[in-house]
Amino acid sequence: MGQYTKDIYRDPSGPPAEARETPYIRNFEDTVNLIVSKEPIRVCVTGAAGQIAYSLLYSVAKGDVFGKDQPVNLLMLDIAPMMGVLEGVKMELQDCALSLLREVVATDDPEVGFKDCDVAMLVGAMPRREGMERKDLLAANVKIFKVQGQALDKVAKKTVKVVVVGNPANTNACICAKYAPSIPRENFSALTRLDQNRAQAMVS
């Protein structure tokens, strides 16, 4: 096994044909060949030191979101005071030794986080506190999505898909798209399924 492991990593075309007949090698080969055959995509998650990202990052990195054969370069963006926490998150991801996870970058610079990215998951924003409504978040969060829209416009791929989680998600998505005019508007989505589910639950 050790010998084939080394060979596969040295030679992306995989082990010799006879080795493919060996069940445990075939499983290993399936995994490795699928991984080496695709280019990694660049996925940026903002608010990467926060609560939602703590679950989301692991799902992205282990293939639940983009597929079990899709390697990922993970770009984690948060604000400067959170860089210590973010380094901890990075170490935890590395500890998981996930085969699909390639590069992991922790940054507080949107132009680094969004550089050439294929997918941007915009989670980073102030959450509601007790007694607040979502509209109370506008003052703080609008600024974030303006800056991030500008950075996406400047450095992300023009094909980037942007999903906005930070609330109010629909307004923030609209602002982000406005400040990223070189990216098609249809590439921006607000994740409002939570509200849809709540509405359905209320009327059912």
Ligand X SMILES: NC(=O)c1ccc[n+]([C@@H]2O[C@H](COP(=O)([O-])OP(=O)(O)OC[C@H]3O[C@@H](n4cnc5c(N)ncnc54)[C@H](O)[C@@H]3O)[C@@H](O)[C@H]2O)c1
Point out which residues bind ligand X (CB under 6 A): 46-47, 49-52, 77-79, 82, 123-125, 127-128, 144, 165-167, 169, 191, 194
Q: Which is nearer to ligand LMR, 141 or 148 (CB)?
A: 141
Q: Which is nearer to ligand X, 8 or 44 (CB)?
A: 44
> Which residue lies nearest ligand X, judged by its C-beta?
50
Closest to 31 (Cα-Cα) out of 67, 74, 75 = 67
Quote the CA–CA distance of 177 and 25 in Å, as a whole number: 47
Structure letter (DSSP) for residue 186: G
Token pair 């963006």 is found at 77
Q: Which is nearer to ligand X, 34 or 163 (CB)?
A: 163
Given a contact cutoff of 8 angstroms between Cβ atoms, the answer to whether 150 and 189 are in contact is no
Bridge partners of residue 177, in order along the sequence: none
Quote the CA–CA distance of 197 and 173 in Å, as a whole number: 20
Would you list the DSSP string of 112-136? HHTTT-SEEEE--SPPP-TT--GGG
Task: Select from ligand X, ligand LMR, none the partner in contact with residue 113, using the beta carbon and a kind-dependent cut-off of 5 to 8 Å.
Answer: none
Q: Does 128 bind ligand LMR (CB under 6 A)?
A: yes
What string marks each residue from 87 to 126 as x (binds ligand LMR by CB under 6 A) or -?
----------------------------------------
Q: How far is the CB of 83 from ligand X (least distance, A)?
A: 10
Task: Select from ligand LMR, ligand X, none the partner in contact with residue 77, using the beta carbon and a kind-dependent cut-off of 5 to 8 Å.
Answer: ligand X
Task: Select from ligand LMR, ligand X, none the partner in contact with residue 27, using the beta carbon and a kind-dependent cut-off of 5 to 8 Å.
Answer: none
The dihedral formed by the CA atoms of 143, 116, 190 and 89, expressed in degrees to the nearest 10: -80
Q: Which is nearer to ligand X, 49 or 160 (CB)?
A: 49
Residues 165-194 that bind ligand LMR (CB under 6 A): 167, 194
Closest to 89 (Cα-Cα) out of 58, 119, 133 = 58
Q: Which is nearer to ligand LMR, 160 or 165 (CB)?
A: 165
Buried b (16+ CB within 10 A) or exposed e, 55-86: ebbbebbbbeebeeebbbbbbbbbeeebeeeb
Q: How far is the CB of 178 from ligand X (least distance, A)?
A: 17
Which positions touch ligand LMR (CB under 6 A)? 127-128, 134, 167, 194
